[in-house]
């Protein structure tokens, strides 16, 4: 089973550099878990270099990182023990960055810094790290923006769908439901067979599945979109099911159960008034395990994380916060928090 992460690095700069030269030509050697290694351009005569060419002034440097997870694999959603095992695996992987001064005959190695990948995929989006030489002395400071978001092919299943209370003056059935997500990277859509009833309430026996490639944050900011189609194939009404609260309920139910929902059905005319209800149940398979902290303000500053909000009460936290005995529930989760 492969675990995939979208990585973006930007705004990479340094200061406080201790070099044998007053105006060194600094460059970086970057090693992302041996998966991606590269060298930046040299910034001439500067103790405050910024590597805009390599990391871009707009958008940054992006790539997809893949790891085996040490052979971990599961069906459905990960258990607590599986999350812990994958967290341990990620904590042993590192991003290592070396700072060098380019010279004509022999380049000067100024210092190194490193950070584990568990911190990167669960932590903030801004980092301040110290370069250190072979004696452990601080030889500079590195600043960067970095996001590392786990991506998974998530299956969204909807079942026991029932359409209630469409206006009698509307087109007669049998009706069909078209399901889709509003994710940018949508992989599919699904349709029910026509209902057996010509008028509401109308039941649909099909259990429908959508496969979408998404991060956990993508899903939380998305909806399951439902279109009610007449027997002539005309869209007569729509409904939306927000996914965040259903993901939370799915996890609280053990991660494998269907979660019931009720959503308003709205007309297609400009008023978009509520004309009925859609009921059913929804479940998720292969949800991502990791997600970065939400709404960070200070980021990671050397050995402390400043600010940040958890997405859910159950998501893993960076090792620094775990070592302090913190839980995601302490970080005012955006979904499922006390507020």
What contacts 276, CB < 8 A, 6 or more positions away? 163, 164, 165, 166, 167, 200, 237, 264, 265
Residues 6+ apart with CB under 8 A from 283: 156, 157, 159, 250, 256, 257, 258, 259
CATH fold group of domain 156-285? Immunoglobulin-like (2.60.40)
pLDDT tens, position by position, 39-65? 999 999 999 999 999 998 777 999 999
Q: What is the pLDDT of residue 189?
A: 64
Residue 321 three-state SS: helix
- The Cα–Cα gap between 311 and 335 comes to 6
Task: Give all strands (DSSP E) within the chain, no chain letters.
Answer: 3-15, 26-32, 36-39, 61-67, 94-101, 108-116, 126-132, 138-164, 176-181, 189-191, 202-204, 208-214, 223-229, 235-242, 259-267, 274-285, 299-301, 304-306
Q: Which two tokens stand for residue 35?
A: 């998966």
Domain span(s) for CATH 2.60.40.150 in the chain: 3-150+295-331, 156-285
Contact (CB, 8 A) for 78 and 216: no
The pLDDT value recorded for residue 235 is 87
Please report the pLDDT score of residue 167 as a whole number: 64
Confirm if 226 and 239 have CB atoms less than 8 A apart: yes
pLDDT score for 187: 46
Q: What is the largest CA-CA distance in the chain?
A: 86
pLDDT of 168: 56
Q: How far apart are CA 241 and CA 285, in angstroms?
A: 17
CATH topology of domain 3-150+295-331: Immunoglobulin-like (2.60.40)
What pLDDT tens digit does each residue of the chain (339 aa) get?
899 999 999 999 999 999 999 899 999 999 999 999 999 999 999 999 999 999 987 779 999 999 999 999 998 899 999 999 999 999 999 999 999 999 988 999 999 999 999 999 999 999 999 999 999 999 999 999 999 999 999 999 999 999 887 765 567 778 888 888 877 555 456 778 877 777 778 888 888 888 889 999 999 999 999 988 888 888 888 999 999 999 999 988 777 789 999 999 998 877 778 888 999 999 999 999 999 999 888 899 999 999 899 999 999 999 999 999 999 999 999 998 754
């Amino acid at each position: 089973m492969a675990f995939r992460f979208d990585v973006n690095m930007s705004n990479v700069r340094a200061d406080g550099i201790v070099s044998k030269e007053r105006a060194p030509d600094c460059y970086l050697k970057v090693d992302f878990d041996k998966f991606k290694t590269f060298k930046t351009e040299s910034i001439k005569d500067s103790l405050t270099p910024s590597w805009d060419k390599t990391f871009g002034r707009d958008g940054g440097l992006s790539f997809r990182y893949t790891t085996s997870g040490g052979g971990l694999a599961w069906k459905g959603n990960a258990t607590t023990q599986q999350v812990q095992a994958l967290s341990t695996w990620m904590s042993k992987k590192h991003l290592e960055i070396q700072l060098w001064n380019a010279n004509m005959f022999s380049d000067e190695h100024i210092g190194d810094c490193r950070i584990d990948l568990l911190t990167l995929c669960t932590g903030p989006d801004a980092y301040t790290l110290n370069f250190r030489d072979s004696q452990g002395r601080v030889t500079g400071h590195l600043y960067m923006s970095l996001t590392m978001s786990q991506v998974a092919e998530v299956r969204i299943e909807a079942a026991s769908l029932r359409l209630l209370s469409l206006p009698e003056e509307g087109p007669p059935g049998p009706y069909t439901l078209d399901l889709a997500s509003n994710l940018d990277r949508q992989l599919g859509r699904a349709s029910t067979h026509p209902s057996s009833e010509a008028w509401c309430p109308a039941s649909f026996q099909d259990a429908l599945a959508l496969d979408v490639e998404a991060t956990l944050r993508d899903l939380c900011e998305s909806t399951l979109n439902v279109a009610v189609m007449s027997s002539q194939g005309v869209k007569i009404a729509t409904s939306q099911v927000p996914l965040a609260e259903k993901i939370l309920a799915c996890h609280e139910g053990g991660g494998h159960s269907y979660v019931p929902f009720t959503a308003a059905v709205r007309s297609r005319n400009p008023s978009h008034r509520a004309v009925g209800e859609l009921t059913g149940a929804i479940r998720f398979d292969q949800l991502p395990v990791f997600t970065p902290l939400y709404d960070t303000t200070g980021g990671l500053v050397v050995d402390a994380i400043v600010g940040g909000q958890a997405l859910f009460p159950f998501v893993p936290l960076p090792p620094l916060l775990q070592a302090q005995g913190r839980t995601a529930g302490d970080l005012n989760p955006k979904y499922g928090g006390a507020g």
